[in-house]
Amino acid sequence: MNPTVENHLQDNSKIVYQEGPKPHTNKYETRVPRLHQIYLLFFSIVISLISLALPSLQNFANSFQSNQLAIGLLITKGQLPYTDLFATGGILYYALIGLSYLLGNTLSLILIQFIAFFISGIYFYKIINYFTLHQKFALVYTILLYLFQFTLGFGGMYPIQFSLPFLMISLWFLVKYFAGIVKDEAFILYGFAGSAAMLIEPRTLIYWGLSLIAIAIFNIKEKHFARGFYQILCIILGTILVFYTAGYFILNLQLLFPYIAQAIVYPFTYFANGKEDLLMTLIYQLALLMVTGQLTGILTFKTILREAKDNAIKWLLFILVIVYSVLVMITRDYHVYHLLTVLPFGLILTAIYLNERFNIAKRKSTHRRLRVRGEQNKITVQFFKSHFYLPIIIMIGALAFPIIQTIQHQSVNQERKIVSNYLQSKAKSSETLYAWDDSSIIHIKTGLKGDSQFLSPLVYTSKKSHLKLLEDELLQHTAKYIVVNKSLEMSSTLKKDIKKHYKTVKLSQLDHLEIYIKK
């Protein structure tokens, strides 16, 4: 075994107690006990079933989620992301949603989400177990990961959730590489995972870029020049295995340049997701990051570095949390799902720090044999108590908000159903629709093609030029039908133009929505 790893295990063995921390089973993996696998399987199934019942209960979907579902559906109707529809997710992400519609039911996404949750949970567990040498600690923090994924990302459908397995697989690979317990040929897997993740969530490019820099610095420091060159070749091979297949479709559909512009350039040059006050949303998102424990490892990083082991991966995690946290804070948006990009990296650093505190308290305590029985509960309480139990409040609030909002907007949702039924009975499949609404449900229920590349006036339109482009497209009067939610702001120019070139469809049941048909 590599001396670095051997020392790591020997030093940590000093804090091993009965039924407590356990050593790695071999030099290549940290096995997940069968019972703990059952726990992870259970949480993956339950959360996937509850979350992705959302496509069937679409009224719970926020603007972003319904927009992504609509894009996936319209792919099956002949409209393409990046050319016909503005999109920032990866091509593989939209392909998965589109495939679910082709199969006849978006509930097939439950299987995809389950696989994503279970695999990411397994490798997240391995990472926590490696750093803490404590299987119960790993189990508790993996369950915390699931709970945060469920509450902060309620309903699923976020690209980062679909890409998480590839992130965790590659991060576990890096942990082992920096510890000297992985073969260079395994960099093929690293390249494969990296390219797959980027085709689902392009913002993972930050992770891959920083991890490549970390590998380069590590190799230079260790004077692994020949090995470094060989690793690059392996990464390229792994990347080609994915990009060659995806590139065939991207090039064949002539999506390359719009794909680069929208999925890669746009997210890294324009960071706002909303139009709220920058200072207020910055403070709000920073507070969320603090109280959910995502920044605990950052604030205690000096303590984490006291144990001079695995510093390369610790520094990588530190920088990742900083970069992704900054991006979250400048979104100009109050949605909590933005924290999902920070979540796995922040939780790992927090686990490392709190594990150290847990072991110190354990060494000081008496009657260890009695105390160890409730160890799992103590680890859970320690996390929440260290953050003044605020994560529980955030979880409850994040889960309650969409439910309360759906109840409050029940009448609007009912009107959307009425409008959808009317359009299904009157509109031809070749006719286009634009729904000036905070949800794309009408597009989903009717299957009518969008008249603008921006399906929602609230998604991807925080940039003024995009909102102007949306209005210009509507002013061309190519939409056969326009549905307007009266509560949403609309420019006076567009209002006057709609009244001039469209006539109102009179439906007595409508109070919040209006249907316009082209004259």
To the nearest whole percent, how much of the chain has pLDDT over 70? 92
Residue 27 confidence (pLDDT) above 50:
no
Query: Residue 284 has which token pair?
Result: 């709000």
Nearest-angstrom CA–CA distance, 446 and 429:
9
Predicted confidence band of residue 53 (pLDDT cuts 50, 70, 90): low
Residue 214 confidence (pLDDT) above 80:
yes
Q: Using alpha carbons, list the distances in angstroms from residue 130 to 32, 73, 207, 385, 400.
A: 11, 42, 21, 24, 35
Spatial strand order of the sheet with 502-505 comes to 449-450, 432-436, 481-485, 513-518, 502-505
Paired strand residues for 517: 481, 503
Residue 18 confidence (pLDDT) above 50:
no
Residue 12 confidence (pLDDT) above 60:
no
pLDDT (mean) for 50-69: 79
Residue 377 confidence (pLDDT) above 50:
yes
CB 515 within 8 A of CB 483: yes
Residue 5 confidence (pLDDT) above 90:
no
Provide the pLDDT for residue 54. Answer: 56
Closest by Cα among 388, 309, 304, 307 to 346: 304
Residue 235 confidence (pLDDT) above 50:
yes
pLDDT (mean) for 480-500: 97
**Tens digit of pLDDT for each residue in 351-371?**
999 999 998 888 777 555 545
Residue 64 confidence (pLDDT) above 50:
yes
For the residues of 337-376, what is the DSSP string, one character each?
GGGGGTHHHHHHHHHHHHHHHHHHHHHH-S-HHHHGGGHH
**Tens digit of pLDDT for each residue in 394-419?**
999 999 998 899 889 999 999 999 99
**Tens digit of pLDDT for each residue in 151-184?**
999 988 899 999 999 999 999 999 999 999 899 9
Average pLDDT for the chain = 91
User: Which runs of E-coded beta strand occur in 378-475?
Assistant: 432-436, 449-450
